Amino acid sequence: MSTATVVHTKERLSGVVQSVGRRPSDVPRRWWESALVFLFFTVGYTWFGYWVVVDQHVVGFETLDRLNRALMVWHNDPAKLSAIGFDYPPLATLLIAPLAVFRGFVTSMAAVPLASAIFAAITMVGLNTMMRRALVAGPLRYALLLALGANPLVLLYATTGTRHFVWIAFVVTGLGSLFAWYITADVRFVMLAGIAYSVAALSGYSSLTFFVLSAIMIGAILARLGADGTEVEGTVVGFAAPTVYVIALWTVFNLVLLLSPFSWITRSSDAASSGGLEMFSAVDLLRATGELVLYGAPIAIIVLPALIFSGFARGNPFALWLGVLLGAAILTPALAVALRLTDSPMLMRNALPILLLSVVGAIWLARSAEEGSTLVAAVVIVGLLVSIPWTLNEMKTYRFQNLEAPFAAALTTGESQEGAETLNGEKVGIVSEQAMAEYIRNNVSQDNSILTDNAQTYAVMMLTGHPELFFDRVDRSDGPWKEAARNPAEYVDYLLMSTADNGDLLTKLYPDAAAGNDAQLQVVYSTPRYVLVGVPAGFSPDQQSSQIDQLGQSS
């Protein structure tokens, strides 16, 4: 056994690159400014979003699905945390669960815009803090935030309850922490970035790309500054631990509950409206990538080369890293198509992270420009302002999209988009769901009395505000649900089905009833998209049992 060498504190810390154990100089905390920015954008986006969603009926069904799951977390019978499911990254639903504590907030649809507005506001706070660290003057900061916040692409995703701003908010927070770390050398910021990225990872799996690149950047920058291997390793471990932990945990959950450890990747529902993967050649992908940047985030065309130039020519490693991140954001949609990791190729929403990373890059360029920072910030603001009408116009015609065209139409015409079609042929609007929900709310009071495939009827369930009325696939998992579907008379009084051919298991099992032609399963109420049928006592659907089994296996 050898005697340990005693190294006293001063000696031990003499070779450490980062500032540990003490807070180095940094911009003063201004919580009130952050709170004001947060409040301004939360209220602004919620107010505007309420108009978009409730008056103009521009709402993504994915948002309603997540809010329905959130509602089940609190109000199902029994309350079910497992309602968050595996179709979405878990935090995309869990983080909006508090909005569903009060049913009325959800049924009034006020929760829909708020579900994205909060995260968009967090993003703005993150950008504002970055600008403060970049010593951008107050008026310019606010002008830049307003110019960015008014971008139609940002507006659409910040106001309609979509989940994209959830992960983007945490990625921007993580970037902001690394921004602060690079400036102050305070190791605390690496840890905060680690936490932010871990939340981002379970909010949107796309963030993992940025996480990996950030981990590499931390190691590379420390090594460049002369940190020894222990410091590099310890810091990277400190940064990576939260994300690795949450991904490992989620993988184990998938293994235990689904017997498929990586189904969180394969089952992930990134979009419901792509209509399948088209065939793309390399040239197509290149052109589509160019269009994505040009229409959705044109300032990237200036920022990316500027970052790379600053990185190489001026020895600015952080600029280079931001350039790499921006490059990754630009190339990721095409790579996802090339690797066939997505069934929703080149969607316009992919321009959102490109746009935000461009802004982050521009902020860093402003800081690096020192005396010229005001000029850089002003140029960025002008660029953002110019891109507003440009992007709005392109949203109407861009090939790969979700609700961009209806949103742009609502914005320019001020008319409700109920019944309008998206460019990929989907109907816009929620009148059908609202009518069915209202009927159920007024006429059904018995818990678990409506059998339904919640994967297709979530919008109705959500709008009732009473998930406990439904016997769905979350209540007691698929096995008991299939049992009830085989013999509904024994369990429920009604069946709620979707009339569209969209994979509703009950519709497939009882197609006649869904069409209103079943003699036994009489229609109680129907809307263009849904039908509620009564289940008479003694109803026995013998002939459909085998179909149930087959459907169950394929679901």
Closer Cβ to another protein, 191 or 388, answer by number? 191
Options 12-20, 437-445, 449-457, 505-513: segment touching another protein (CB under 8 A): 12-20
- Three-state DSSP class for 438? helix
CB 239 within 8 A of CB 214: yes
Q: How far is the CB of 205 from another protein (least distance, A)?
A: 18
Nearest-approach distance from CB 226 to another protein, in angstroms: 14
Question: Is residue 339 a contact residue for another protein (CB under 8 A)?
Answer: no
Q: Are 364 and 338 in contact (CB under 8 A)?
A: no
Cβ closest to another protein, residue 61 vs residue 250: 250
How many residues bind another protein (CB under 8 A)? The answer is 42
Alpha-carbon distance 530 to 525, whole Å?
Answer: 9
Tell me the sheet residues that pair with 531: 497, 526
Place of tokens 């999209």: 401
Site for another protein in 195-224 (CB under 8 A): 195
Q: Which is nearer to another protein, 77 or 291 (CB)?
A: 77
CB of 245 to another protein, least distance (A): 5
Shortest Cβ distance from residue 298 to another protein (Å)? 38
| Closest of 510, 512, 513 to residue 523, by C-alpha | 513
CB 396 within 8 A of CB 408: yes
Which of 27, 137, 139, 233 is in the footprint of another protein by CB under 8 A?
233
Does 234 participate in binding another protein (rule CB under 8 A)? yes
Q: Does 340 bind another protein (CB under 8 A)?
A: no
Of the residues 101, 241, 328, 523, which one makes contact with another protein according to CB under 8 A: 241
Taking each helix axis from N to C end, the angle separating 111-133 and 138-149, rounded to the nearest 10 degrees, works out to 150
Among 64, 61, 73, residue whose Cα is nearest residue 467: 73
Q: How far is the CB of 171 from another protein (least distance, A)?
A: 19
Cis amide prior to 152 (ω within 30 degrees):
no
Q: Which is nearer to another protein, 86 or 157 (CB)?
A: 86
What span, in angstroms and rounded, lies between the C-alpha atoms of 165 and 158?
7
Q: What are residue 496's phi and psi, to 5 degrees?
A: -110, 125
Q: Are 86 and 252 in contact (CB under 8 A)?
A: no
For position 27 contacting another protein by CB under 8 A, the verdict is: no
Using the minimum distance from each CB to another protein, give the nearer residue, 17 or 461.
17
Candidates 322, 182, 169; CA nearest to 239 is 182
Site for another protein in 133-192 (CB under 8 A): 186-191
Interface pick for another protein out of 35, 43, 79, 216 (rule CB under 8 A):
79
Nearer to another protein, 233 or 490 (CB): 233
- Of the pair 171, 187, the CB lying nearest another protein is at 187
Nearest to 517 by CA among 502, 501, 529, 499: 499
| Among the listed residues 78, 104, 276, 538, the single contact to another protein using CB under 8 A | 78
Q: How far is the CB of 528 from another protein (least distance, A)?
A: 37
| Residue 2: CB minimum distance to another protein, A | 7
Which CB sits closer to another protein, 74 or 510? Answer: 74
Binder among 35, 249, 265, 277 for another protein (CB under 8 A): 249
Chain-centroid distance of CA 329 in Å reads 15
Structure tokens given for 161: 């309850």
The CA-atom distances, in angstroms, between 227 and each of 136, 171, 185, 386, 434 are: 30, 26, 12, 44, 61
2 binding another protein? (CB under 8 A): yes
What is the token pair recorded at 50?
A: 């309420």
Closest CA to 173 of 189, 186, 185: 189
281 lines the binding site for another protein (CB under 8 A): no
Of 177, 175, 191, 198, the closest CA to residue 245 belongs to 198
- 13 is a site residue for another protein (CB under 8 A): yes
To the nearest 10°, report the CA torsion of 253, 257, 263, 269.
-100
Q: In the beta sheet, which residues pair with residue 530?
A: 498
Nearest distance from residue 31's CB to another protein, in Å?
Answer: 14
In angstroms, the CA 247 to CA 240 distance is: 11
Q: How far is the CB of 73 from another protein (least distance, A)?
A: 8
User: Given the rule CB under 8 A, which residues bind another protein?
Assistant: 1-10, 12-13, 16, 18, 20-23, 78-79, 81, 186-191, 194-195, 230-231, 233-235, 237-238, 241-242, 245-246, 249, 256
